Every structure is written in C-alpha cells, then in structure tokens.
Amino acid sequence: MLSTTLFPGRYVQGYDALQFLGNEIKRFGQKGLLIVDPFVADNLFASFQSSIEHEVKYHLERFGGESSDEEIERIGGVVQNVNAEVVVGIGGGKTLDTAKAVGYYNKLPVIIVPTLASTDAPTSALSVIYTPQGEFKRYLFLPKNPDVVLVDTKLVANSPARFLVSGMGDALATWFEAESTRQKFAGNMSGNLGSMAAYALARLCYDTLMEYGLQAKTSCEVHAVTPALERVVEANTLLSGLGFESGGLAAAHAIHNGFTVLEETHHYYHGEKVAFGTLTSLFLTGKSSEIIDKVYTFCEDVGLPTTLQGIGLTVVNDEKLMEVARAATAEGETIHNEPTPVTPEMVVAAIKVADAEGRRRQALFEDEVISSL
C-alpha cells in the first residue's frame, strides 16, 4: 500500500516573524505580487512594509473578498501586468486560497502569510473555491504545497480572539476526520493512504487544543504571546494543516460545506461552522458519551457554537436541514470517507441531535446560574 505525506517547503513561526518576510521573498525572486486582505492593507501593512522594501520590489493588490474563479482570474491578469516573480498571500483563509491558486495558474512560487490563526488552509496544496456569493463550489487540488508559510504570533495575538477560536474549531475536526479516514482505508488529499506521521500529528493537534486552547484564548484576549498561544497557533496552522491533508477529511468538513448553501450561515467563520459539523459528526459516528461531553465542554469554554443558532440558523425546518444534508452527502464529498455509508437522512438526524444537546447544556447552565443567585 502506498502512503503519501504532504508538507510545505518551509514553516516559519514566532514573535515578529513578519520582519523576515522580505528575506523569504528574495529567495525566490526580486518582485513579489502581494495579495493582501483589505483590513491588513489599511491597518497592519505599514508595520512590516519596510522589511519588504529593504529586500525586494513589490506590487500590492487588495483581495476582493471571495476565493472565486473570477477573483483568481482577475489577479492573474495583474501578475502578468506587473511581471511578478513570486506570489505572496497575506490575510485570512480565502485570501490565502486565492494566492495559492494564482501562483499555480501562473507557475510561480507561493509564500503564504496568515495574519490570523483562523483556519488550517495555509500549509495545504489545496484551494477551496467559492462562488462570488460565498457558496462552496469545489476543491482545487494543487500539485505542490506552498513554498513558505510564515506566521507572526504577535500579529495573531493582536487580532480579535474570535479568529483564534475559529481556528481551533477548524483544527478540532482534524483528528476525528483523520481517524475516520484511517479506519475506512480511504485516501487523504493526495488520493493515497496517510502515514503514521500524519495520524500522530492529527492526534497531537487534538491533544494540544484540549490542553492549551483556553489558555491561548485568554492570552489572545489580552494581546499576549505566551507558550500556550504559540502551541495553539502551531496546532491551528501546521498540525491541523498536515493532519487534514495527509490524514484525510471526512464528515465535519462535508457538513460545513452543506451549511454554506444556507445564506444565514455566511456571516460565520469557516471554523465556527466546522466546529458544529464536528459536533454533528460525533453523533453521526456514534462516539462515546465521554468524548461527546469533552468536546462540548471544550467548545463551551472557548466560545465555539454548539447549536444551530450559534451559526445563524434561528429558524430551521426539515426542508432546510435536508438541503444541507444533500449537499453534505453529494457525490465526491469527504463524508464518504466515514467508515460506514452515510445518507442525507442520517445527517439530518445527527444535526438535530447535536443542536438539541447544545441547547440542553445551555439550559442546564442557565438554570445553575439562576439557582446560584
């Protein structure tokens, strides 16, 4: 049996790591196209601009908001116009997915700079493509991982804690999905089996979140870079990225993709929806009460959604849930990496139970608060 493990060319993480971005760009060329999230361009870019200018020339292009085919094509035209030699993505998950796709189509090296630890997208040889309206469209599988992933933990610590928590939600799925894929003997994102390293890293990702997640959130809330924050940033970015790509995806991300068909969920972050997809997957796959309680407790502690209302679905009926379930179980979706066959009806049932459990626990907590007054 053939196994494949996928890695980025180089992973750089630490306090003030952005001061070394110019050096990293220079290893690949003398002119970079910087695809930059508008918030980063307006509020953060000036803090590390000089570190780039001292090393290379660059053109800054503001990201349009969706990692869509249309946006990728638009920025591809800019690459040609400015004669860029390196593509650098600076921002959140969709900015980075767009940068990877632009680099691929234009046959250029790619440097990825996540300004938030909010997804595990940075390290992967994968771009998630959405429609211009924000609905999931397809996965774009790339022939290689980014040449460099650079994470400045000072920048992460100075961002709203909700982004870090969203990254924990994305990373929370990693071990459960890799384990399902392993049990099924299904392929990872390369199409081959995962390696021992991939499954071990996926488990380390989960254990790191359980041990340090709440500490990291607290650190981020006071804008402090601590060992706990460094560990969780690495778990959200590197461990989760390697774990999902080389271990495999399964139900949690497929259910997330299903939720994107409902416009009400579009204002919630990827990791927040993945977290609820993970809770749903626990019931779908018959996990023990001990694991279910542990994962719900973690989500409650760090502030991840545990109900449908938590991802914007205040009015839900069976018709809407079936729409989600059909999208989640579409041909080619990763939910079919679960060890047993999954039907739309099974997904609807699991979503209902996950929501009911979240609401039950919320009501119990509220009763305890009232009784303590």
- Residue position matching structure tokens 């009015």: 315
- Marked catalytic residue, from 97, 152, 253, 355: 253
- Asked about 253 being catalytic, the answer comes back as yes
**Burial of 368 from C-beta contacts in 10 A (0-12 / 13-18 / 19+):** exposed
Structure tokens at 312: 């914007």
Radius of gyration of the chain (CA): 20
Active site residue 97: no
Two tokens, residue 38: 């508008």
Cβ proximity of 172 and 166 under 8 Å: no
Distance (Å, rounded) from C-alpha 232 to C-alpha 167? 9
Q: List the 11-14 sheet strands across, edge first.
A: 11-14, 148-152, 110-114, 86-91, 31-36, 57-62
Q: One of 97, 147, 270, 355 is an active-site residue; which one? A: 270
- The closest of 156, 140, 128, 328 to 236, measured between CA atoms, is 156
Secondary structure (DSSP) of 275-335: HHHHHHHHHHTT--HHHHHHHHHHHHHHT---SSGGGT-SS--HHHHHHHHHHHTSTT-GG
Which one from 97, 120, 152, 170 is the annotated catalytic residue?
170
170 is catalytic: yes
CB 124 within 8 A of CB 94: no
**Known catalytic residue at 223:** no
Q: Which of 147, 256, 336, 367 is catalytic?
A: 256
Catalytic residues: 170, 253, 256, 270
